[in-house]
Structure 1
């Protein structure tokens, strides 16, 4: 577990598909006085121990169904945490993880200092989360909707099962935000999170990810 900001910790990389060496996943723990939040998921036992050392988890938030696996049940049983996910993918989460979300959403919600933003396209239940840290930065968790590959190129999570029109609309909505840090779930090994340090940098990143979707036949 690596601390990247005063209240934000990043887990070690996991490789979900052995055949794709440069594709990795990470999870993020937001530490808070009234209970920590885990964004995405991790199946690494030593990271579960590290999470416990940092105070455990109050709520875990999935960005989409591909984060569902046996670790969800383990985390819930270990920490008594509340699992959140999009209602449209709740049954699929149960099939994959052996546990269903305790709570679901269907539209935008505000959970204290966390904004829940369902943004379909990569999958029907894909969701982004925006957290305004009391330490001054705004964190945008994009799941697999947008991230950087190993070369640093911003890429959209467009796969054969994705809905291109929805994904394009989602990316355009994300471009209107003003995050200080963008943290994806599963993209290239070298760029799990990126600080936005210049005006227009985030919009340019989204435009870079959009371009192949708009030019493809």
Structure 2
């Protein structure tokens, strides 16, 4: 199975879907240095390790998993995290308000606007409050093309993430998604959600009012 979904100027983006919940696991690899960021070690360590092995084709350097970042604390996004940390020795990152709920020690606590600097690329964290208290989206700005948002369970094609019918949580999440994603990035921005297919901000932008009116 070909896991490569984007071959950009400075990095590649690979993705696999794992578990009965179709969780997406994403891998960013710097072409020049081999530095890697993995987003959401959701499940199926062998499949994740196979994707890491595939990524050797993406760089002339030695691939090195520099950081495992988690978008949010929910169990289906962290099932392979302890085993992957043990197997690779990689550092971990998560939103400050979700970190204590993760099954591993979190090395890097993330807030809104924090930048992760890797050898060959940068990623910015965007705090989106509502699906969980510490949900984080990760944004990579391609120098030659659109930005890529790894949105976890905060933004999907057709709506924001589940807020358990809590109006305050829903309003918080939609407000953050509107201000911190839709008002910050243009229509061609690619959204890579925690489950299912990608979308763009432009495809979803016309529906923000409908989402607010329906309350989910």
- The answer (yes or no) to whether the contact 1:156–1:210 under 8 Å persists in 2 is no
User: Aligned to 2:163, which of 159, 164, 185?
Assistant: 159
Deviation at 1:48, TM superposition (A): 1.6
- In the aligned structure 2, how far is the partner of 1:211 from the partner of 1:27? 32
Deviation at 1:61, TM superposition (A): 1.2
User: Aligned to 2:189, which of 180, 184, 203?
Assistant: 180
- In the aligned structure 1, how far is the partner of 2:172 from the partner of 2:27? 29
For structure 2, the residue ranges without an aligned partner over 5 or more in a row are 56-62
Deviation at 1:10, TM superposition (A): 0.9
User: Per-residue CA shift, 1:131-164, capped at 9, x if unaligned?
Assistant: 013453310111111112xxxxx12113327612
Deviation at 1:212, TM superposition (A): 1.9
**Does the alignment pair 1:110 with 2:111?**
no
> What's the RMSD between the two structures over aligned residues?
2.3
Which residue number corresponds to residue 131 of structure 2?
122
SS class of match (1:121): coil
Normalised TM-score (structure 2): 0.78
SS class of match (1:5): strand
1:56-67 equivalences under 5 Å are 56-66=64-74, 67=76
- In the aligned structure 1, how far is the partner of 2:165 from the partner of 2:91? 29
Runs of 4 or more off by more than 6 Å in structure 1?
Answer: none
- The answer (yes or no) to whether the contact 2:111–2:125 under 8 Å persists in 1 is no
- The answer (yes or no) to whether the contact 2:70–2:94 under 8 Å persists in 1 is yes
